[in-house]
């Protein structure tokens, strides 16, 4: 008989999640398996059929109904997002191929994030809002993964926090962009607000853990140097 992790003790559940993803250790760059551990870091999402769940779903309905056509179009354009979604916040000079070391570094960061989000989603196993309320399905294409925590909210904030270290003068705009990417997902009913908030918490823990890794620190320093060299070269012209 197969049990879902949420019905097991926290310790056993964490071990089961780790065992299901042991192969991920070979794919990680700056994190080690189960650190940070979403199963102990994040509070569980609202229970099915609870008043809290009903309120969460009501907010999805209200937010989706109030979303403008421009916001909906932006949300749909971000279904597949990455570090260059932050170009408007950083500046037009931040383009693919302009900073190869920085780009490769951030892609490794994002890759680690995706592995951890996937594990967390499988553990919490929360259905998306449109699965509970079919009237919300029209707001966008169905997605195969589970709802909690939001991958867009987690991933965009992970990128934002690292980008903010690289472009500290743009920090507020970069973080605001990540928050918008996450909230767009509620506007098209792909996520609950609680999924978004959990993603932001998880992102902070992921980046905090990455910063303990010497290789991360080395790659971050090389990215900063690359950006500084580009600025000097630009100023010279």
pTM of the model: 0.88
Nearest Cα to Cα of residue 131 among 150, 146, 153: 146
Please give the domain boundaries of the chain with CATH numbers for all domains.
Answer: 50-236 (1.20.144.10)
Tens digits of residue pLDDT in 202-227: 999 999 999 999 999 999 999 999 99
Tokens linked to 23: 């192969």
Give the separation between CA 168 and CA 224, rounded to whole angstroms. Answer: 11
pLDDT tens-digit readout, 44-91: 999 999 999 999 999 999 999 999 999 999 999 999 999 999 999 999
Torsions phi, psi for 32 (to 5 deg): -115, 155
Longest Cα separation, the chain: 68
Q: What is the pLDDT of residues 127-181, one digit of tens each?
A: 999 999 999 987 667 788 999 999 999 999 999 999 999 999 999 999 999 999 9
State the Cα–Cα distance between residues 194 and 217, nearest whole angstrom. Answer: 32
Q: Which residues pair with 32 in a beta bridge?
A: 35
Asked if 200 and 150 touch (Cβ cutoff 8 Å), the reply is: no
- Coil/strand/helix, residue 188: coil
């Amino acid at each position: 008989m197969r049990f879902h992790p949420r019905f097991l003790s926290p310790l056993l559940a964490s071990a089961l999640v780790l065992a299901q993803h042991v192969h991920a250790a070979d794919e990680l760059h700056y994190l080690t398996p189960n650190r940070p551990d979403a199963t102990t870091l994040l509070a569980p999402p609202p229970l099915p059929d609870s008043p809290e769940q009903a309120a969460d779903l009501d907010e999805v309905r209200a937010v989706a109904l109030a979303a403008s056509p421009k916001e909906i179009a932006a949300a749909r354009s971000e279904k597949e997002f990455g570090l260059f979604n932050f170009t408007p916040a950083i500046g037009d000079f931040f383009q693919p191929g302009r900073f190869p070391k920085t780009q490769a570094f951030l892609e490794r960061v994002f890759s680690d994030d995706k592995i951890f989000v996937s594990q967390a989603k499988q553990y919490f196993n929360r259905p998306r809002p449109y699965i509970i309320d079919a009237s919300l399905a029209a707001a966008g294409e169905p997605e195969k993964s589970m709802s909690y925590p939001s991958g867009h909210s987690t991933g965009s904030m992970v990128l934002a926090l690292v980008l903010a270290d690289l472009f500290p003068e743009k920090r507020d705009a970069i973080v605001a962009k990540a928050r918008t990417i996450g909230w767009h997902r509620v506007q098209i009913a792909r996520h609950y607000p609680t999924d978004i908030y959990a993603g932001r918490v998880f992102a902070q823990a992921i980046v905090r853990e990455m910063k303990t890794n010497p290789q991360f620190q080395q790659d971050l320093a090389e990215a900063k140097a690359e950006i500084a060299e580009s600025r000097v070269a630009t100023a010279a012209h």
